[in-house]
Structure 1
Amino acid sequence: MYVLAVFLLPIVAVALVVRPRWRLGLRERLGGVPATEPGRPAIWIHGASVGEVTALAPIVRNLRRELPSHRLVVSTLTLGGRDAAAARLPEADARILFPLDAPWIVRRALAAVTPCLVLFSETELWPNFLDALATRGIPAIMVSGRVSARAFERYRRWRTLFAPALAGVRVFCVQSLESARRLVALGAPPSRIVVTGSVKAAALDGAAATDRLSLMRLGAASVPVLVAGSTHAGEEEAVLAAFDRVRAVAPSARLVLAPRKPERFEEVAALLRARGARFVRRSELVAGASWPVTAPVVLLDSLGELAALYPGARAAFVGGTLVPVGGHNVLEPAAAGVPVVFGPHTEHAGGAAARLVAAGGAVEVGDADALARVLVAWFTVPEEARRAGERARAVIAASDGAVAVTLAVIRGVLAESGAAARRA
């Protein structure tokens, strides 16, 4: 494990120089996190960023209700994730940045938090962190785990490092059989794997409630709106070209364009200006301001407001799918009853994208032209879009149960570790 840390730290050092934003919160990344008060047990809950933190909300809420005396510490890799945790997880006692995965840094963070249990979501496999937990006898549980084909190939190259760390995880709660098979191939004991499904669907109902913006508040509830969420470089051009074709058949249509990364807000604004698009930035809309009719496009240059803009939209495009990124949260628009269109790169969505397509609540497209054809159809025939949205919402309704199973696993592990501590 030390070899991996020595290999990674120079990369981290370069990143801190190249990306000044990464230097924010450096003390926490080096293990300087708030200490747990003596005598109070702590549960450490980790999610990579905004999407994972949102998905963990029902787990955190239930743990707070069932374990009022425990300290709940939520960690994320990103500053945006930490901000989302502050907004969406008020039940947590602390929200911190995850420590760099070097043995001496991990030891410092664990000494401060002193967790009796660690929960980590999706694909957050940090070898030194997991190894330190196993060494200290601290049980760890994977929550809503998934291993995409791309991640599997990456982890497999480091199997000799990951296999010992995986062996120390008490239970792997995974989204699909495919992820279960990949974890076994990486060295996870098959007897410790439970297929629960994704907990994201259960988190969606409350996710938008904490956000400030909505189509209704913008005065756009009565016009057809396309929400293009979490877009990446190369996708905005496709969306804007498709939107031009939509406006040809539905002149009142409007577009919410939400780049995934804040550092691209200026780049996308420049793209809109270069195309001669009439747009307004979200940051220019003061509290209570309506969406001006002279600007068909809103550039969502803010964080944490996307989910609240899906309800009432005519259609949604989910980004990271027309380019080989792996996709983002296809369940958010589906939960709002909005038909979804996305590209072929949906590895990060687990089986959710396939389920939506199979149910007729979403369409997968291969290129910009196909994207435009689907959107034109939905904006030309609103009833067709409405029926597709209902089918999408039905998929979400059928996804209930993952949280209950995951909580049962957590209760069991806590009971086992408590009994072991009493025997010792």
Structure 2
Amino acid sequence: VGWDKLASSAGPPFCEEIVLATGGPALEASLSHPTGGQSPILLLDTLGELAACWGLADIAFVGGSLTNRGGQNMLEPGGYGAAVLFGPNTWNFRDVTEALLSLQAARVVTGPAELTDAVRALLLNPAEARRMGQAAREFVASQRGATRRTVELLSSLIADSKILDNSAHAA
């Protein structure tokens, strides 16, 4: 399977440019229908399989972010240490994207040409891709335990309030 497979209607139209820029070939695959091929580039076009593959990536583009739909979860590839790329429409993950960008763990690309250039630049500079990935991994690790911390904060606020005070209802 080569770059010509990527130009099919199943893949985004700019995939061919990325694969050609990196020297191809690419493998379009599904975990439920493995092709058995070997390639440095893997494109998935199925639902529910991506999370199982983030650990294979050195560079990850987070979809939805080039459209008004909004981005997908950048913490998943970042947690595995991938250099994260996403488009400008990440309103639904604003805090995460701001943190990743401030740590230089991610980059914004505004369209297919910029995405192609960013992937090429990171492939040509693997030390920078590793640095970005490590920064992303460290950020995600720093956020672990957020649910526990939130519950503790809410519990202390409730305890300090009169919400659960039975004497307030007796009056």
After TM superposition, the score normalised by the length of structure 1 is 0.33
Q: Which amino acid aligns with 1:357?
A: L
* Contact 2:82 2:132 (C-alpha < 8 Å) held by counterparts: yes
Q: C-alpha offsets along residues 374-393 of structure 1, whole Å, 9 cap, x if unaligned?
A: 10112222222111111112
Q: Whole-Å Cα distance in 2 between the matches of residues 395 and 245 of structure 1?
A: 30
In terms of Rg, which structure is larger? 1
Unaligned runs of 5+ in 2: 1-8
Q: C-alpha offsets along residues 215-264 of structure 1, whole Å, 9 cap, x if unaligned?
A: xxxxxxxxxxxxxxxxxx9x822344323322x2xx46x46xxxxxxxxx
User: How many Å apart are 1:362 and its aligned residue?
Assistant: 0.7
Q: Whole-Å Cα distance in 2 between the matches of residues 291 and 323 of structure 1?
A: 33
Report the secondary structure of 1:341's partner residue.
strand
Report the secondary structure of 1:293's partner residue.
coil
For the pair 1:236 / 2:28, whether they are aligned, the reply is no
Q: Whole-Å Cα distance in 1 between the matches of residues 52 and 101 of structure 2?
A: 23
Q: C-alpha offsets along residues 318-373 of structure 1, whole Å, 9 cap, x if unaligned?
A: 01111121212111111111100111111011221122122111110111111001
Aligned to 1:216: none
Percent identity over the alignment is 28
For the pair 1:394 / 2:170, whether they are aligned, the reply is no
* Contact 2:58 2:81 (C-alpha < 8 Å) held by counterparts: no
User: How many Å apart are 1:293 and its aligned residue?
Assistant: 3.0
Q: What is the 5 A alignment of 1:113-132?
A: none
Q: What is the 5 A alignment of 1:103-142?
A: none
Q: CA RMSD in A?
A: 3.1
* Contact 1:337 1:392 (C-alpha < 8 Å) held by counterparts: yes
Aligned to 2:63: 319
Equivalent of 1:366 in 110, 135, 160: 110
* Contact 1:340 1:361 (C-alpha < 8 Å) held by counterparts: yes
Report the secondary structure of 2:121's partner residue.
helix
For the pair 1:382 / 2:158, whether they are aligned, the reply is no
Equivalent of 2:37 in 261, 278, 292: 292
Aligned to 2:84: 340
Equivalent of 1:282 in 31, 44, 59: 31
* Contact 1:245 1:376 (C-alpha < 8 Å) held by counterparts: yes
Unaligned runs of 5+ in 1: 1-232, 256-278
**More RCO (CA 8 Å, sep 6+):** 2
Residues matched between the structures, number: 158
Report the secondary structure of 1:283's partner residue.
coil
Q: Whole-Å Cα distance in 1 between the matches of residues 21 and 167 of structure 2?
A: 65
